[in-house]
A and B are shown apart, each in its own frame.
Chain A
Amino acid sequence: MNFAVVVFPGSNCEVDTFHTATSVFGQDAEYVWHEMRGPETLDRFDCVVLPGGFAHGDYLRVGAIAAISPVMEAVQAFAERGGLVLGICNGFQVLLEAQLLPGAVLRNNSLQHRAQWVHLRVESNQTPYTRAYEQGQVVTYPISHGDGSYFADPQTLAELETHGQVVFRYCGAAGNVTPEVNPNGSLNNIAGIRNRRGNVLGLMPHPERACEAILGGEDGRGVFDSLVGAMVSA
């Protein structure tokens, strides 16, 4: 399949995402510059990834400036047509600011950047991104962010839960979801959510950094295996 990896000024995980899609999974990928506009920008792609980093320095608010860049109109249109849009870390923050996903992220409750490996519980394997996982499977990815505390108003939060839109939750090794294992203060230990339709996914942890044994873990492969599988069966 053909991945579009969007590059904003200040993105810094675009090379990792590109490497994982191409060198690890043998798929095609192209970088798409943030100033690109028009519907044809993304037409040829099967999945658009907004990578991690500090787009526009995260000045003003994390993801805020990137969310109004020209390419985001094309991303919006792509998502409306049902295209697969994946936002990782800063990419998730951009999707929130662009209102392609509900809610917001706040500063980590430690008020510090946190970079560590975390356990995540796969809350739903009914998405194109998680089909390769077992329902409830516990996986390990790295996180690295300063603003990852997911927040939404009570009604939005209730809707997310009701419609099974919470896809990943921070948990312990045994899958226990408790405040102690929450690295950033996210409501309901939320690490990743999807939109109602299921084609847009955003998450703070980095699956692309967990696809090779030499890097300390391969649990992230499930996301790419799911995407490639979704494309084959589509």
Chain B
Amino acid sequence: MRNVCIHADNIITPLGFTTSENAAAMLEGKSGIRLITDDKISPLPFYASLIDTESLDKRFSAVGEPGKYSRFEKMAILSIKETVDSTLIDLTGSRTLFILSTTKGNIDLLENKSTDKRLYLWNTARLLQSRFNFMNEPLVISDACISGVQAIITGARLIRAGIYDNCVINGTDIISEFVLSGFNSFKSLSTGPCRPFDKTRDGLSLGEGSGTIILSSCPEPAGNDKILVSDGFSSNDANHISGPSRTGEGLLIAISRVLQKISGPIDFISAHGTATPYNDEMESVALSRAGLQDVPVNSFKGYWGHTLGAAGVIESIMSIYSIRNDILFNTLGFNEPGVTNPLNIVNVSAKKRINNCLKMASGFGGCNAAVLFYRK
């Protein structure tokens, strides 16, 4: 079996248009979440992490005409472009697959025309494919909040199996009235910026983001500077379509399968940590059952909210940044432990040697996923 390593990446959130801009803002303790008053999205003010339209268009005008592309397309194109430009690998051949991870794509266009071709996720992926001259038919993965982690797991599997040599994975979602009204109807939105794992947490903050990561097969022996992707797994709770399992069974199955494949300790866990009462509680149960309650664990949601189909990609990239730079990021919004099973929540950003990171995610439909990133 071939090794799969990370080649290049990019994150676009309100905190920055590159991975390092995001990291720098995070180390300063900045958050993209703020109170938004925008009647086009919600009749009432709400907290969310939204990308500034003017900055987006300004950045985009260097690569295309902002008026010709949707918000989603502009974010995805900018993120993919920055990533593709930073690598010397030729990604236009038959050995490269483009994977788009998204829950809703161009869903804001539904408001005006319910049969718009651009609403079809595969069509959005095709537009991105042709923009970057990727040869193969792209793949779209739409698995709710685990989409991004699933895209990385799936891409790594296809490379490991020798079906492709490279996967360019982009995860993007925008926040529209469609999404906000839905989460609001579930009463799952926080009254202020979200507070993952905290005693006073009362819901999630939605966020916009786009992240791109390039996975490639890497020759043996991999260089010391390489970060590798393990086998990852998904599992279904088979319990409820919108509520996480109380026993954390599905997440535990996914984590246990990752742990079975590796030896040695886990240094750091990047949790899903949405800050809804049920999700964080479920994760604490699953982590305790897996015997990982003492491993430093954080949630990135306090920095840029829940970015849905982008979350797994963006948070994986930042976890990989943690390994590369030996930095543990604070769980912004966390103050006082608030889950039944105590966890070792990272509550201050600090330098620490990190050789690996377990990334996990859970979502609607009862889905869960886990994967490990590690230093060779």
Q: Do A and B bind each other?
A: no
